[in-house]
Structure 1
Amino acid sequence: MNEFGQLFQALKEAISNDNFVKLTLSKPISKSFNLPNVYVRLVNIKNQKQLQFTYRYNTNDQTKNYTVDEACEELETLLLEKFKAATLFTLESDLLVMISKKKKVSYRTTAPSFKNKLPEIHDKPKEKRINLSSSYLQFLGITDKNNKVIPKMADKYRQINKYLEVIESLIASLDMNKKLQIVDMGSGKGYLTFALYDYLVNLKGYNVSITGIELREYLVDYCNDIAKKSGFDQLNFIAQRIQEYDNDKIDILIALHACDTATDDAIYKGLMAKSELIICAPCCHKQVRQQVKGREQESPLLKYGIFKERQFEMITDTIRALILEKFNYNTKVFEFISSEHTHKNVMLIGSKSSKKKDIESIDKKIESLKELYHIDHHYLETLL
């Protein structure tokens, strides 16, 4: 079909010019297909490049590999019969393809979403993200003198692994060829901070510096001592309140389990610094809940204490995500580790986008949430 000629030509040129990132199909024609998306990436099989289709069914994933010509035929079939949209991501631009009900095809080109390509290895072996022989693990009490994980620290070890996996996927869109300044606000005992430094600097070879911000001075001294003994010379910890930290050069802002409004203070710092990434795992959602204490709520969900607590946690983090969107961030909220390991398991991610957001629409969503639950203000709004 000639209508897809522009897509197929752009796809072949991207592969030929070595700037193809991925291709996605979305907006299924019917929910009855039970196939919300198809993802296409480049794989290298026996030194030959092929396109791997991952069919993301509701109940399972299925993968098939095609030559470029075969892939074009499959794409044409899928776009004619099952999907209304496709996006071709390259390092130069994004090509958006829309198919109307009458099968009219339209195109739109936008700024690129990715700065780096995806790996082309087929059946990629599970990557080693933690070097068990690293001395910081012993200093922190995660491993013993034989470099074995201490049983009672197994949950923490799993949490670190999952955290690094999440970080790995997030930095794929960043330019890692330049030096990046990472600030970890509310770094605590530094488990994740040390692991991140070791992974980025010693395993991946990236040029980064990491600063941990922590109010408790004894923990700052403790962590700085371990950093020195481990030879982590671009990692340092500062005893300071998040609100008092003054640095407009923050490429990646991290705030994991910063209590209550400290999460908002950290997000505010990231927004003011125009950080490429803002990564939060919110904790102790008290500000909104205390604000509505004693006010009668119409929703039956809020009749019971435990539901009320969970509901206002979701409202608090939803407003945070919407505020990030107002500042041109793409947002995601997900469970980054099973609740059997820790109940502090929700992660809120904001990644800087070049695409302008509909601020008026976002403001209406925030105001409707506040009106529905009788909320006067969200703390992050007052900072901004």
Structure 2
Amino acid sequence: MAEELASVLAELRALLLDGEGLVRAVASGRQRNTSPPWRRLELRPVSLKAGQRLQRVAYDERQAHTANAAYGDEAGAMVDEALSQGFANWHVESTGGTLQIRITKKGEPMVSRTKPAAPVERELSHNRAKARLLDPADPFWQAIGIADADGRIKPTRQDKFRQVEEFLRALDAVLKPEQLPGDRPLRVVDLGCGNAYLTFAAYRFLAHVRGLDVDMVGVDVKRQARERNSALSAQLGWDGLRFLEGTIADAPLDGADVVLALHACDTATDDALARAVAWKARFVLAAPCCHHDLQKQLRAAEAPAPYGLVTRHGILRERLADALTDALRAALMRLSGYRAEIVEFIGSEHTPRNTLLRATYTGGAGDKDVLADYRALINEWKVRPRLAQLLGLEGSGLELPKAGDAGF
């Protein structure tokens, strides 16, 4: 609901200066016609040798800048400065509850207040665990089935919660403000969304924490997934989030700035990457699942010497196929005008499928050295990557091998 801006800011200021009650506050996004000097700002009380201080951590595009202020006039000046910098979103956690503020384009504050379901513990140590991008007590986690009725992440969903959060951390790192559209919503597509844990969390983070104008679509082949997810989106009142029923390859979509795919099985990841390339999507983040396609090809062909010592063992052949598949995918993305890398986005204790292909479109020409290495690799192993077929790169100006050439 909209409230008087002055009274909301007064309430916010009091919470930020409450050394006994504040847990953490996060500011992000920008109000209309303002340019905050930081991408994100965090405030929290810390206990130092000199006594308790209000700590401010300000993030620019490259690093974090930390400052500590003694409670009183010094902390008051720090808070007043933060409130004057034009942030559009504030998320404040305190022992008394959670306050969320979003200042609209008209300058009106939309405010949400929730009481804690259980006593809140404060962490005042100077060196603390990595901050959460999304509050685990946020009601949307309960709506999508990750949290229980008391607002706690379910034990059986802890791994999924951490996967989603670390995926969002990787997404946050690549979305630079200067590369985002300024005259229209950011178009985001989650291909093969399933239960849409990532879709809902990404929308919540981008729209309500980063403060971006977002048009987001989740795509899944199952009708029940579309119906369930659409009902939840309506329940949450998130007009910028919708769901479509269809395959990754054929879903009726016009394009996207950001393409996401979390654990799309086997060649479904290739389908997602191919659509991203066709759209020239600016950012692509895909965490592959199983890799059956190249595993079958490796079983059917004789391994080049001396790698028969590896492929004779089923488990090692599977791991080799995983690495080979993702290496070829990254190479093909680079040959399609992307800067691409493969990284680990979460520890293997949470999922064995913990690699992430992260790509940013540059429009550059394919690197001849990458092309030469790609051709040598597929010829050596006699494999035909599904993504190359989907991209239709054979016979193009890149002179990729055609069907029937060695290795195809």
Q: TM-score range by the shorter chain?
A: 0.5 to 0.7
Q: Which TM-score applies when normalising by structure 1?
A: 0.66
Q: Could you say which residue in structure 2 is the equivalent of 1:222? A: 228
How far the C-alpha of 1:248 sits from its partner, in A, is: 3.7
Q: Could you say which residue in structure 1 is the equivalent of 2:328? A: 319
Q: Could you say which residue in structure 2 is the equivalent of 1:152? A: 156
How far the C-alpha of 1:141 sits from its partner, in A, is: 2.1
How far the C-alpha of 1:320 sits from its partner, in A, is: 0.6
Distance 1:40 1:294 in 2: 47
Q: Could you say which residue in structure 2 is the equivalent of 1:59? A: none
Task: Give the aligned CA root-mean-square deviation in angstroms.
Answer: 2.8
- Output one character per residue of 1:83-127: Cα deviation in whole Å (capped at 9) or x when no partner: xxxxxxxxxxxxxxxxxxxxxxxxxxxxxxxxxxxxxxx999954
**Letter paired with 2:382:** H
Whether 1:363 and 2:371 are equivalent positions in the alignment is: yes
- Output one character per residue of 1:347-369: Cα deviation in whole Å (capped at 9) or x when no partner: 001111255442x3222111111
> How many residues are aligned here?
274
How far the C-alpha of 1:371 sits from its partner, in A, is: 1.6
Distance 2:268 2:62 in 1: 40
How far the C-alpha of 1:167 sits from its partner, in A, is: 1.2
Distance 1:150 1:124, change over 3 A: closer
**Letter paired with 1:130:** L
Distance 1:142 1:43, change over 3 A: closer
- Output one character per residue of 1:64-87: Cα deviation in whole Å (capped at 9) or x when no partner: xxxxxxxxxxxxxxxxxxxxxxxx
Whether 1:245 and 2:251 are equivalent positions in the alignment is: yes
Q: Could you say which residue in structure 2 is the equivalent of 1:381? A: 388
Q: Could you say which residue in structure 1 is the equivalent of 2:316? A: 307
How far the C-alpha of 1:41 sits from its partner, in A, is: 5.4
Q: Which runs of 5+ in 1 are unaligned?
A: 1-17, 22-38, 48-121
| Alignment check: 8 A CA contact 2:298 2:321 kept | no
**Letter paired with 1:296:** E
**Letter paired with 1:175:** L
Of 134, 140, 157, the residue aligned with 1:136 is 140
Of 171, 175, 178, the residue aligned with 2:180 is 175
How far the C-alpha of 1:134 sits from its partner, in A, is: 3.2
Residue correspondence of structure 1 range 60-71 to structure 2 within 5 A: none
Distance 1:361 1:161, change over 3 A: same
* More divergent stretch after superposition (205-214 vs 366-375): 366-375
Distance 1:294 1:193, change over 3 A: same
| Alignment check: 8 A CA contact 2:244 2:251 kept | no
Distance 1:204 1:124, change over 3 A: farther
Distance 1:292 1:144, change over 3 A: closer
| Alignment check: 8 A CA contact 2:287 2:354 kept | yes
Distance 1:42 1:263, change over 3 A: closer
| Alignment check: 8 A CA contact 2:330 2:340 kept | yes
Residue correspondence of structure 1 range 335-346 to structure 2 within 5 A: 335-346=344-355
- Percent identity between the aligned chains? 28
**Letter paired with 2:310:** L
How far the C-alpha of 1:256 sits from its partner, in A, is: 1.3
How far the C-alpha of 1:264 sits from its partner, in A, is: 0.9
Distance 1:46 1:357 in 2: 48
How far the C-alpha of 1:381 sits from its partner, in A, is: 1.0
Distance 1:41 1:347 in 2: 22
Q: Could you say which residue in structure 2 is the equivalent of 1:208? A: 214
Residue correspondence of structure 1 range 50-69 to structure 2 within 5 A: none
Distance 1:229 1:318, change over 3 A: same
